[in-house]
Structure 1
Amino acid sequence: MTARAVGTTDDSPVRIGALAPLSRPGWAEAGRHLVAGLELAVREVNAAGGIGGRPLELLIRDTAADPARATAAVDELAGLGVAALAGEYHSVVARAVAARADELGLPYLCSSAVLDALTDRPTDLVARLCPAQSHSWRVYADFLREAGHTRIAVASQPSVYWAAGTRLLREYLAPHGGTLVELDLATLDPAAVPGELVRHGATALLLLTGIPEPAGSIVRAVRQDPRLAGLLIGAPAGQPEFAEWAELLGADGAAVPFLRYLPEHLGPLGTRVAAELRELLGEAPSFVALEGYDTVAVLAALLRTRGTRGTRGTDRAQLASGWPLVAVEGTRGEIRFSRRPGVSVWQWAWPPVQVTDRDPADPARFRALHQG
């Protein structure tokens, strides 16, 4: 066995490169929760003896929602000898990370980016914990349909992710008589959105936008327009999950349904981890924090079973060959990876999906409206 083989006396760390949006224009609060989950799991792995007696080390890089910056970080981390990559929240950034990781032969476990086509071609090097967009947004479409919404407007910014979401919603709703009206925020001022909703007779508005703006201005404009008193505002991408949303909008931000990747009830592991994350974060952990924890749990199991005999060439390929063999207890259920139609990477099929909102009576409390 070489000096870096599993079970040797080598106590050098096993490194994992972690990517997350920790500054604007990224959703920095999501990045903070993701990193909290990653770091908690690393501490627990090391407290239990690490990887074959070697400590697990996390090298964190801020992507700031910038694909070019993320690609440069992948190159840097590969040069530093990481065994695998983890993390990222924004789909367009995760696509860039996955593409570069595939080129370099570096295993990557995507924590929290849902775009179906995470890579342009099928790859054995990349796996994903969160559900594919085509799965989770179908659950959201079912929620809209069951609530009786057939005339739906989407206010969107230019993005591959938002465009994919619009297409998926249209495909799912059309067979049931649903119509989608697109409001292009590249040309439409947020103050003009209420008038367009009235003109098109929409009963629901979906915010396919970033926060704090233009989402905040649109919500306030719609809530203040008496003509739209019965209109549903939705945010399938999960903007209301984070405290920033409640701080930005207060009561106006309640009753905005969004997608949340949690079961109806957490099991013992999820309950314990959520409690510890609450202490670390000083607030209730989002599902993104649990995704971070689960990411390290999976990678640690993979490293223990597939070996850590180095970080280049065939050793990384050997590590990635373990995706279909993984069976790990996660905070939200048992994690196994498989191939799914239309998804180019190894996929956990499926994490739990629910549609949730903030309770108008207490915006700090969440209500589960629909379970997928």
Structure 2
Amino acid sequence: MIFTILFYTFVVVTAIQVLYYLFFLTFAYGQNKIKINTDVNIPVSVIVYVKNNADVLIDSIQNLTKQKYSSFEIVLVNNASSDNSLDIIETLQKKHSNIKVVNVENTEAFWGNKKYALTLGVKAATHEHLLFTEINSKALSKNWIHEIASNFSQENTIVIGYQKLKRKKNSFSNLLIRFNHLLRTIQSLSFVKFRNPYNATNHNFAYTKSVFFKVNGYINHLNTFIGEADLFLKDAATTNNTTYSIKLDSFVVSNKHLSFKEWFYSQKQTSILFSLYKLKPRFFLRLFTLTKLLFYLLAIYTTILNWKLSLPFIISYFLIQYVVLGKSASKLHEKNIILLLPFLDICLVLLQISIFISNQISKPTHWK
């Protein structure tokens, strides 16, 4: 009797998981229905956040100055760096006429507040269309600004770009981190297609000044030291003003490897940020995580007791997962990430449990 109940529960959670992956197919196989303006020449302000990045500043800014775009400025927002970042960017400003420097000093009210610094950058920007990145990411193409800007239209005033994580050879932790990043991207862009955007990154994110000031910028979450892109998206995104770009020329790539310790801490922060999302994406993402956990637990149980009944469901699940993630990884030029499926998926579930337990013991402090 108990086996029968648990087996049917296993069938139900497997079906739910399959429906989720079929939902993700909208990103993998569907086309983003936006009329791309290939002759775009709207002026763009590229806002770059800087915080103690002296070691990579010159290379990153030179990469930006080589962009093939007719009209753009680079707004460098130096948020009270304690190294010689300010000296470097002021030197670069003298060499490039389209560089503007916003030097943010610490104040008692906004000490180290990234959102406050970015707000000053937005106010200093000359142009209506804003493109955000950070100094530890580099555009993959000289056409990066063009590709992102071409997605703007009268309806689409918010554009989400993709950030590739730097690959480290022969590193399982790096592979796992990039797999998690891939899965989160597939989920978030699928929600964009169904007009419920909830996730973005300031490493590759664009919107208009009008949208920013319409919601008073970051005012609703100014004292939350994480989630400047996600929480702004929560306030500013509507059912029809947000799109994304997955053309290779629109990608940026991180210029440093994220250590497992850094990633684990960032995931603890992300899990706390998750509670601030809108109800609909929060509910469906939690259901996805819960049914995935139940799938693995019940798969083990039912396989031990009657593998002939459970095995077809398990094989079908992994085949569908492989097809969907494989196609999605190909779209994002990340094919090598899924080579170790389903091992990566199982490891990620275990880590999510660890992160949940860790947050119950000690929540991370605010991030600067």
Give the TM-score, by structure 2 length: 0.26
Instruction: Report which of the two has the higher share of strand.
Output: 1
Instruction: Report which of the two has the higher share of helix.
Output: 2
Give the TM-score, by structure 1 length: 0.26
